Amino acid sequence: MKLNLNGEVLALSLLSAGESAHAFSAFLPSRFTIKNWVLCAEDGKELEENIANLRSGYKPALLFGMGLGAVVSIIAKSPIPILFAGGSSLLMLQLYEGALPKELRLRNPMDIFLPEPPPKNGNGNGAALSTVLPATGLVASLGI
């Protein structure tokens, strides 16, 4: 693909950037919800679970936004739409992490792509899904 930037490609690129941002609102709560419910946990374990639940929406939002950008890039025969979608997605990821207190934020937003640790046995009730919160080194266990 060549770097083709005409009015049509620019319009398609802006639309894919906008739709990539909208994917985050489809898969994640608002900043208001994060500040007023996710962070208002009664104990540390509940807070870890809330943040793990919040971050579970990052991957589908990124994949949807980047997938849309890829399809538009193929149609437009230009890499610019996927670049716009990627930039928009990274901005949204940064904005969502910015809603969390500084000590709970990811050090590197790309840490969401690290493999999860293997499941642990949860009190004899079967396996539990463990999610590491890299910024704090804390582990939240969600029973399955």
Per-residue pLDDT, averaged over 1-19, amounts to 86
pTM: 0.71
Write the pLDDT tens digit of every residue in 73-83. Answer: 999 999 999 99
Q: Residue 17, Cβ neighbours under 10 Å: how many?
A: 24
Question: Does the residue 128 lie in any domain?
Answer: no
pLDDT above 60 for 133: no
pLDDT above 90 for 65: yes
Write the pLDDT tens digit of every residue in 46-64. Answer: 888 888 888 889 999 999 9
Number of folded domains in the chain?
1
Question: Does the residue 123 lie in any domain?
Answer: no
Question: Does the residue 39 lie in any domain?
Answer: yes
Domain containing 72: what range? 7-115
Question: Does the residue 81 lie in any domain?
Answer: yes
User: Residue 2: its pLDDT value, please?
Assistant: 63
- 59 or 121, which is more confident: 59
- Radius of gyration from C-alpha coordinates of the chain: 18
